[in-house]
Amino acid sequence: MYIVMLGKPGSGKGTVGKMLSESLGITHLSSGELFRSYIKKAGEIGKQIDSYVSKGNLVPDDLAIKLVEQRLQEPDCKNGVILDGFPRTIVQAEAFDTFLKKQGKKIDIAVELELSDEDIIDRIVKRRVCSNINCREVYNLEFKKPKQEGICDICHSQLVQREDDNIETVKQRLKTYHETSAKLVDYYKAQDLLYAVKLNLHSGKTSEDVAKEIKKCLFGDVS
């Protein structure tokens, strides 16, 4: 099964994607985490990626496609993946479709998480992430606080703020999203693959509710 998570940066794609991954037993592939892993290696590719990501810009199509396709060929992706942060452009989407078609596979659903720009900015600047690369649990200082300040509930590692989780970079990322990634909604809608979930930070709808709603769309009643 192949699920594409769409939405603005900070809309909750990663959190919902991880929940679906655990529930469905398929790999959650975050392009952001993939790119950050290269940045930490500090090689030439990592430096190239960092020059874009640190400024809130997209990684170029050819590089993003190459790295994601390499990752998709690893053993844990053989039964499908939940893609979070890829594709981000029409070029990437078309390349991904071609990649799957060559293997006789296709996308099952593209899920769009709709959240206003104001809510996105508020959510991201208050976001904290577990520093343990094998955990990476996400928290929020307002509506998903850790039990102990600065410490992950799950693995007890220190929580950190991503370098690009600041207002200036977030605004640039949103600008980039509206100029490029937003077009993906129409791309998948035209293929009758789009399922939209409207969100509001103060609506009371949890990530668990969203994951359950997506599963219901895929498989019917899952209560």
| Domain extent for 74 | 2-116+166-219
Question: Under DSSP, is residue 138 helix (H, G, I), strand (E, B) or coil?
Answer: strand
36 is catalytic: no
User: pTM of the predicted model, to two decimals?
Assistant: 0.81
Q: Identify any residues that bridge with 195 across adjacent strands, giving them in sequence order.
A: 111
- Among 21, 59, 192, 67, CA closest to 3: 21
Q: Which helix (H) or strand (E) holds 139?
A: strand 138-140
128 is catalytic: no
Q: Report yes or no on 182 lying in a domain.
A: yes
123 is catalytic: no
Identified catalytic residue from 126, 144, 162, 212: 162
* Count of positions (residues) in the chain: 223
Identified catalytic residue from 13, 18, 128, 136: 13
Q: Report yes or no on 125 lying in a domain.
A: no
Q: Report yes or no on 74 lying in a domain.
A: yes
Q: Report yes or no on 21 lying in a domain.
A: yes
**Are the CB atoms for 87 and 96 separated by under 8 Å?**
yes
- Round to whole Å and give the CA distance between 193 and 45: 33
Q: Report yes or no on 129 lying in a domain.
A: no
Question: Under DSSP, is residue 186 helix (H, G, I), strand (E, B) or coil?
Answer: helix
Q: Report yes or no on 124 lying in a domain.
A: no
Q: Report yes or no on 132 lying in a domain.
A: no
CATH of the domain at 48: 3.40.50.300
Number of domains into which the chain is organized: 1
For residue 20, give both structure tokens. Answer: 């679906």
Identified catalytic residue from 88, 123, 128, 136: 88
216 is catalytic: no
Q: Report yes or no on 137 lying in a domain.
A: no
Residue type for 102, please?
K
What string of DSSP letters covers 53-76? HTTTPPPPHHHHHHHHHHHHTSGG
Q: What does the DSSP 8-state code read for residue 101?
A: H
Task: Give how far the C-alpha of residue 21 lies from the chain's centroid of Cα atoms, to the nearest Å.
Answer: 12
Each of the 223 residues of the chain gets a pLDDT tens digit; together they read 999 999 998 898 988 999 999 999 999 999 989 998 898 887 889 999 999 888 878 899 999 999 999 999 999 999 999 999 999 999 999 999 999 999 999 999 999 999 999 999 988 999 999 999 899 899 999 888 999 999 999 999 999 998 889 999 899 989 988 988 888 999 999 999 999 999 987 777 888 999 999 999 988 865 5
Per-residue pLDDT, 180: 85
88 is catalytic: yes
